[in-house]
Structure 1
Amino acid sequence: MEEALDYRNWPAERLVTRVAELEAKLKALTQEAKGLPVDSPSQSGSAKRRAKKAKKDSPNAFDASRYSTRFIALKFAYLGQRYNGLEYVANNPTPLSTVEEELWKALHKTRLIFPTGEAAERGEISWEGCEYSKCGRTDRGVSAFGQVVALRVRSARPVPGLEPRKKKTGDVKEAAQEEEAETTEEPEKEFDPIRDELPYIQMLNRVLPHDIRALAWCPDPPEGFSARFSCEERRYRYFFTNPAFAPGWLDIEAMQDAAKRLEGLHDFRNFCKIDPTKQISNHERRIYHASIEEVDMRRHPVGSNGQDRSIDVQTPKLYSFNVNGSAFLWHQVRNMVAVIFLVGQGLESPSVVSDLLDPEKTPTRPKYEMASDAPLVLWDCIFPEKGDPERGRDNTKLADADGGDGKFGRNGIMDSLWTTWRQRKIDELLAGGLLDLVASQGRQTSLGEGNGAESHRSTRIFEGANSARAIGKYIPIMQKERMEHFSVINARYLEKKNLKDVEKAAGQSVEADE
């Protein structure tokens, strides 16, 4: 007689296989007793296939219906150099992945979202059914330290009337204790919407790329909250050095004058790229604040090479162009920075900003190059409390809600950010050390000096990149060739779109006739 087996310690997969095996034996015995032909070995393979299917449909399979969900706002940051911008567009392949792609993959892998629709069924990236919205759409190469999205995610809150799933265990004593606990009636503990919730920040940061970090989440966004439309202020910072290149000193005072002219409600048609797909006819935007500010450089990026530079006024300094506004047009910040850099180099007067803001004097945009993408950061997105006259400047609505246990310690946010920072810091120190070494050898000159003959041959333009661009003779902005009026660009797009729609409809009509 076969010895009785103890199935209590068996894993679920093995139990499923065992059940399928016993069912096959039982069927064979039944057929033998009835005088029917017994299944052949090839037929017994179907039992294995049923076992595999049973494995997929086993109680361990993830069942979204067993979980409650909640609507939250998620704040995260990313270094944008490795990404093709924030936004993912279906059926539009890009050379680099987007930040949204990586965020979706992390949310899907941690089973925090349950997308619906045909795209989700095909395993494609889709936010359908997630109540998803995003605040600021950054371009390729641009970073963000305060990006915000809103979406519906899985929650740890128990579903009313649904019994919790039994835990897998091989410990008989533990199983007995659980059974005893179930028979002992205790008042159900009230669910704390923050302390008892899933550790969203830690879960996401475990699977996100190292240069994308979840920072905080808001547990109770107000009714009707949208990460895009509820945001009342977006803050950008664009970093640069002075000198901008060697030699290439910038006039910070003139740049400050130019920046201040941007404040207020203005028509920024000459500081943006026209996107005809949006059909925008109103280019007025309000800038709350614009300034040039020196950045604290207690840790100098360039070593001192043993020299005392405490009174050296020509030591390189770090600055940022800070701009806060209600909303921004496509490439608006990078175009504003480009013009301010021209002012700083003495190629334009600060008054050129006023000229470009005057739609009567300058109805169409001059063809000038916008600034580089890498130094630009979406610094923060502000969501004010109701009735807040200061527009929520402290951004308290998005305070870290995970109890502070996801910031420090092993695998915390600071741990991973330190790794990224240290790698870049070593690169900076090595490059700075080499720069100092070369500067200390041979004839000693100031950063403001250079080859005079070369400087007369060609003008070099600083556009925020790591090096200046030689352009020959400089042509002032107001004398440059102009682009078409935005109404002409919009009309041409509509004409082409309508023509395509007509051709498509005609093609469908022909197919129907056939």
Structure 2
Amino acid sequence: MDKRDYTYDRWTKSALIKRIKVLEANLLRAGEHKSEVAQESTTSVVTGEDATSPPKKKKVGRKIDPSKYSTRLVAFKLAYLGKRYGGFEYASSANLPSIEEELWKAFVKACLIFPENPDEVNWDSWEYSKCGRTDRGVSAFGQVIAVRVRSNRPLPKKEQPTEAGQVDENGEAAELDAAAEETKEKWEFDDFTDELPYCRLLNKLLPPDIRMLAWCPTTPADFSARHDCRERQYRYFFTQPAFAPIPQSFENPDNSSKRVKGGWLDIEAMRQAAKKFEGLHDFRNFCRVDQSKININFERRVFESDIVEVKDAETALPFLDREEFRPSGMDLPEKLPKVYYFHVRGTAFLWHQIRCMVAIIFTVGQGLEDPSIVDKLLYFEAEPRRPNYQLADEVPLVLWDCIFPRPEKPENALEWVHIGEESPGNQHGTGGLLNSMWEYWRERKMDELLAGQLLNIISSQADISLRKDPKAPLHIPATTRTFEGGDRERLVGKYQPLLQKPRLPSPAEVFDREARRKGFADAAEMREAWSKRREEAAGDLPPKELLLEEGTE
């Protein structure tokens, strides 16, 4: 009987579905058992078979014996498009699959790890670490994880005791040992001819929107993808214009006070705002407060923050060349729309910090706020409670790269071997990484191309000056259309300036409320209790609530 622990909290969804099917099949077989027994004697008479003959044995799949293999700690660089995932980190209560869940299934199926219960996502036994925790919908093109995996390296041989009578007077055994040692010296394990092709194995098992890009054959023994990371880079992509502009003849004159025509962005103003984030700042007004991390430090250092154009990424939409759709007084290129990204580099980031920063930059780009709003929100002594503004959409955000090592630990640098460097066919051959991604890209490129052609047809077919309906409005309603990074604008009525919006509780208020929920008078008392607990458990890891998460966007 299967004695596995059937606590389903951390099972993968595919494993749960498989288990349900097994249980349903068992119930069905139990109901049909009596009728099968009754038919056995009749079947034996008709077929001439012995009713007592044993049933045919089912084929059992071969299993790898982990004890026969060595292991090694390997750092992997991977990329994924996060739109259809519930985030990187596995959560049993999530409605969408996670990246970690898909990685777990691939590592288990490739027999790179050997968990006691393959259906339960539990990395604890495999020295697992990750560089960042991307949220739902967020992508990554340079995520890094480390896992202890199966290796083809030979296990160290146990010394065999020499039995009496095996060595003659001429020392024959010594000569044999010397010959064996000489042979061993001639053969050295090679990471590219003798080792398992880790990335190629995993890419065959992972979904097409999750790809292994590289591995490090010289991963240090004490390497941590989280703690050894020196710098994390994010990019947030957007288009210019951000959403479909309205023809001038249909615009409402009551909205004429706006500094930027609806749909368009003032890229230079956005760049001015972005530059203000550079340096060491307290970002409590640019993040979501995690109530469980009462010792968190809101200071983060940003090395670089800018707005950058993506070259040769535009798709021509000719209707945007018409003067009625363009803003007056803004220097724009002929071929539109353009693609840009908000580029930011730093050691670590707070929860939703990038999306908060982008949200403020978008208000500046639309002329709704002045670039100085960034200075005012960074000055937390004057603004201790964050205005309740809408976060930027998650899908255009990408964890672009993770840089190693930290300056204080230079020995934990990573020497990446990218797919194709060990063998060009793994990159460009049939079934290679580039070919598989080309197929994935082309499908979506055709979607973009056809949608663009249809959009051009629709924009040129109608003459809106006819107004054949006598009840047709002269102008659009007097309302503000705001851009928040999504596929379309959001109507907000009359825009309320950021510093006039309702305020969220301050971090101190959030932490005190959480402390009272756990039976403490306030957050200070809970911190003191945790500090004592740490002192009593000297040498142990601090409580999970005290750990500062890095790269948690």
TM bin, normalised by shorter chain, reads 0.7 to 0.9
Alignment-derived partner of residue 46 in structure 2: none
Is 1:250 the equivalent of 2:265?
yes
Alignment-derived partner of residue 222 in structure 2: 224
**Superposition pairs of residues 76-155 of structure 1, within 5 angstroms:** 76-89=78-91, 92-115=92-115, 120-121=116-117, 123-155=119-151
**Superposition pairs of residues 25-424 of structure 1, within 5 angstroms:** 45=54, 60-89=62-91, 92-115=92-115, 120-121=116-117, 123-161=119-157, 187-188=183-184, 189-247=187-245, 248-297=263-312, 300-302=314-316, 313=334, 315-384=336-405, 397-400=415-418, 403-405=422-424, 406-424=426-444
Whole-angstrom CA distance in 1 between matches of 2:429 and 2:478: 57
Aligned counterpart in structure 2 of residue 431 of structure 1, from 430, 451, 456: 451
1:237 alignment partner, SS class: strand
RMSD: 3.1
**Structure 1 residue 441: Cα displacement:** 2.8
Task: Note if contact 1:205-1:214 (Cα within 8 Å) is conserved in structure 2.
Answer: yes
**Structure 1 residue 123: Cα displacement:** 3.1
Whole-angstrom CA distance in 2 between matches of 1:162 and 1:102: 38
Cα 1:287–1:453 shift into 2, 3 Å? farther
Whole-angstrom CA distance in 2 between matches of 1:232 and 1:385: 4
1:70 alignment partner, SS class: strand
**Structure 1 residue 444: Cα displacement:** 9.1
Whole-angstrom CA distance in 1 between matches of 2:231 and 2:407: 14
Whole-angstrom CA distance in 1 between matches of 2:210 and 2:373: 38
The one-letter code of the counterpart of 1:108 is: V
Task: Note if contact 2:143-2:401 (Cα within 8 Å) is conserved in structure 1.
Answer: yes
Whole-angstrom CA distance in 2 between matches of 1:308 and 1:474: 28
Cα 1:428–1:192 shift into 2, 3 Å? same
**Structure 1 residue 323: Cα displacement:** 0.5
Whole-angstrom CA distance in 1 between matches of 2:356 and 2:51: 72
The one-letter code of the counterpart of 1:459 is: T
Task: Note if contact 1:281-1:486 (Cα within 8 Å) is conserved in structure 2.
Answer: no
The one-letter code of the counterpart of 2:120 is: E
Alignment-derived partner of residue 170 in structure 1: none
Moved more, 453-462 or 67-76: 453-462
1:407 alignment partner, SS class: helix
Whole-angstrom CA distance in 2 between matches of 1:296 and 1:249: 19
Whole-angstrom CA distance in 2 between matches of 1:70 and 1:218: 11
Moved more, 75-84 or 217-226: 217-226
Q: Percent identity, aligned pairs only?
A: 51
User: What is the count of residue pairs matched by the alignment?
Assistant: 415
The one-letter code of the counterpart of 2:422 is: G
Alignment-derived partner of residue 514 in structure 2: 493
2:64 alignment partner, SS class: coil
2:183 alignment partner, SS class: coil
The one-letter code of the counterpart of 1:371 is: A
1:289 alignment partner, SS class: strand
**Superposition pairs of residues 3-22 of structure 1, within 5 angstroms:** none
Task: Note if contact 1:366-1:483 (Cα within 8 Å) is conserved in structure 2.
Answer: yes
**Structure 1 residue 62: Cα displacement:** 1.5
1:129 alignment partner, SS class: helix
Task: Note if contact 1:147-1:381 (Cα within 8 Å) is conserved in structure 2.
Answer: yes
Task: Note if contact 2:108-2:118 (Cα within 8 Å) is conserved in structure 1.
Answer: no
Q: What is the CA deviation profile of residues 273-330 of structure 1, one whole-angstrom value per residue up to 9, with x for unaligned ones?
A: 1111222431000100000011112x5323559x999x95372211100011100101
**Structure 1 residue 113: Cα displacement:** 1.2
Cα 1:372–1:483 shift into 2, 3 Å? same
Cα 1:111–1:489 shift into 2, 3 Å? same
**Structure 1 residue 455: Cα displacement:** 5.5
TM-score (norm 1): 0.75
